[in-house]
């Protein structure tokens, strides 16, 4: 039980990774709220019992709490850290208090304050990739086929060694990694592929085979393969910041698209829900990436930051996306969503999040074989 025996060495990288992501996200809310004149009551890293706290000259209490799985910014007029409005308090506010209350700000201001959390995570990921691409370079494999496995999907479709892949599933191919990404998510789906063979372009149809693989946590998942390899690997450093930024945007957007497609496959049942991971898996991966070095850890933080931005935009009350949905509805109907409806939606949203946390935690515990460890403690 490596995870149990080395719990300390998992905890430190995990707390560093999680703290960075939370601070970036919550600081986005904080700085834009301050820009629009909202009074911030609390900026919390973690939940539960306070371990450390200090008030600044603006009256904001900065604190670190015992449960590190999250954080929040509590604004004036909020009932809690989830930005649920304190209806009784709002009705009794003076004009001076309304001027610094989040709930009494203009619609576009509230929208931008809420949106800024995920947006800061996205921008932070872009900056991380820009740093990596300019300092260490991006690993790129040219989309030139150096091997076609016998009887594979590629072999049956007519692909040959030396073919230069131009497009795949109607998407332009710039590197071999693009082919792997598209293939992995489209098992069993017939797709067009265009290659340059000599001086001519050849179009074919190919259907990725479905294989069962094991993740680093031991659980099975399905992935598409077509049976080709490329050995044209190189590291490209982007000295021009504009180029590095462009590549980073493209990289982040591809990850977000891939995540959405994978989640869609989980919902439709074509992909196993066991692939969903939570704190325990993140802790395990934090240690693994930290052991690979500084650049690997920055890469992992950037990937998580992109996914945190995306997940927070899901239209589930309690998440930022749920608040944004209410604001969009308010903009359409020209009045706030009724308080009772908001209250019910927040409770339902909290229930959905709680259910997801339970499912993900069970996945984590199963994948790390903790049930087997506990069983061995009592049954020899």
Dihedral sign for Cα atoms in the order 350, 352, 353, 354:
positive
Contact 248, 211 (CB under 8 A): no
pLDDT at 257: 87
Helices assigned H by DSSP within 215-319:
241-268, 279-292, 294-312
Contact 128, 304 (CB under 8 A): no
Q: By three-state DSSP, how is residue 84 classified?
A: coil
pLDDT at 229: 92
Tens digits of pLDDT across the chain (380 residues): 555 556 666 678 888 888 999 999 999 999 999 999 999 999 999 888 889 999 998 889 999 998 887 889 988 877 666 566 666 677 778 888 889 998 889 999 999 999 999 999 999 999 999 999 999 988 888 999 999 999 899 999 999 999 999 999 999 998 898 999 899 888 889 999 999 999 999 999 999 998 877 654 455 667 889 999 998 888 889 889 999 999 999 989 988 988 888 777 777 766 665 556 666 677 777 777 877 888 889 999 999 999 999 999 998 888 899 889 999 999 999 998 887 888 888 888 888 888 877 777 776 666 555 445 444 444 44
For helices 241-268 and 107-135, the axis angle rounded to 10 degrees is: 110
Domain boundaries 138-236, corresponding CATH code: 2.30.42.10
Contact 168, 179 (CB under 8 A): yes
pLDDT at 191: 93
pLDDT at 166: 95
pLDDT at 228: 93
Look up residue 144 and give its DSSP letter. Answer: B
Question: Is pTM beyond 0.75 here?
Answer: yes
Angle at 365 between CA 64 and CA 20, to 5 degrees: 30
Instruction: Enumerate the active-site residues.
Output: 26
pLDDT at 373: 45
Within a 10 A sphere around the Cβ of 203, how many other Cβ atoms?
Answer: 10
pLDDT at 358: 78
In the numeric block, which tokens belong to residue 275? 């692939």
Q: Where in the chain is the domain with CATH 2.30.42.10?
A: 138-236
pLDDT at 378: 41
């Amino acid at each position: 039980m490596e995870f149990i025996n080395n719990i300390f060495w998992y905890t430190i990288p995990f707390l560093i990774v999680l703290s960075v992501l939370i601070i970036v996200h919550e600081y986005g809310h904080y700085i834009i709220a301050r820009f629009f004149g909202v009074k911030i009551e609390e900026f919390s890293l973690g939940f539960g019992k306070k371990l450390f706290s200090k008030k600044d000259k603006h009256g904001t209490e900065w604190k670190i709490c015992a449960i590190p799985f999250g954080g929040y910014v509590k604004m004036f007029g909020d009932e809690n850290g989830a930005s649920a409005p304190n209806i009784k308090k709002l009705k009794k506010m003076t004009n001076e208090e309304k001027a610094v209350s989040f709930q009494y700000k203009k619609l576009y201001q509230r929208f931008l304050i809420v949106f800024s959390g995920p947006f800061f995570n996205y921008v932070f990921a872009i900056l991380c990739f820009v740093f990596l691409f300019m300092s260490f370079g991006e690993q790129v494999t040219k989309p030139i086929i150096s091997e076609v496995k016998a009887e594979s999907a590629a072999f049956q479709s007519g692909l040959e060694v030396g073919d230069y892949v131009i497009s795949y599933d109607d998407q332009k191919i710039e590197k071999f990694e693009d082919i792997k990404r598209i293939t992995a998510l489209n098992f069993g789906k017939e797709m067009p592929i265009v290659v340059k063979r000599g001086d001519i372009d050849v179009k074919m149809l190919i259907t990725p085979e479905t294989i069962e693989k094991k993740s680093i946590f031991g659980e099975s998942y399905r992935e598409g393969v077509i049976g080709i390899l490329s050995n044209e690997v190189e590291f490209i450093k982007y000295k021009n910041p504009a180029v590095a930024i462009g590549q980073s945007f493209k990289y982040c957007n591809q990850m977000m698209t891939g995540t959405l497609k994978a989640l869609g496959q989980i919902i439709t049942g074509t992909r196993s829900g066991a692939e969903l991971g939570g704190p325990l898996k993140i802790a395990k991966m934090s240690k693994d990436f930290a052991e690979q070095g500084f650049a690997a850890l920055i890469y992992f933080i950037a990937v998580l930051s992109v996914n945190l931005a995306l997940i927070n935009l899901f239209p589930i009350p309690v998440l930022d996306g749920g608040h944004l949905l209410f604001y969009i509805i308010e903009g359409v109907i020209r009045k706030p969503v009724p308080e009772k409806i908001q209250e019910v939606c927040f409770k339902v949203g909290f229930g959905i999040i709680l259910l997801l946390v339970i499912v993900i935690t069970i996945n984590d515990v199963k994948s790390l074989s903790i049930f087997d460890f506990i069983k061995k403690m009592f049954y020899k």
